Amino acid sequence: MQITVDTDKCCAAGQCVLAAPEVFDQRDEDGIVVVLDHRPSAGLHAAVQEAAHICPAAAITLS
């Protein structure tokens, strides 16, 4: 799994961080998503898929 985020689309809702805090964080200055691990281990895939699914801006792409 490869994670890509479109920071221009990110609305800083933080849902990704709540779903997968091991993989996502937010910038302190504006809350925009930061990917901590672009290729998470298989044990985190379900949480990352949930984060992508619930992102209100559809800013997370998985491949």
C-alpha 35/C-alpha 21 separation (Å) is 10
Number of domains observed in the structure of the chain = 1
Tens digits of residue pLDDT in 9-62 = 999 999 999 999 999 999 999 999 999 999 999 999 999 999 999 999 999 999
Give which of 33, 5, 29, 30 is closest to 21, Cα–Cα.
33
CATH code of the domain containing 21? 3.30.70.20
The pLDDT value given to residue 38? 97
Residue 62 bridge partners (DSSP): 3
The pLDDT value given to residue 31? 98
What is the radius of gyration, based on Cα positions, of the chain? 10
DSSP 60: E
The pLDDT value given to residue 62? 98
Domain with 26, as residue range(s), is 3-62
Compute the CA torsion angle 48, 54, 58, 60 (nearest 10 deg): -10
The pLDDT value given to residue 37? 97
The pLDDT value given to residue 1? 96
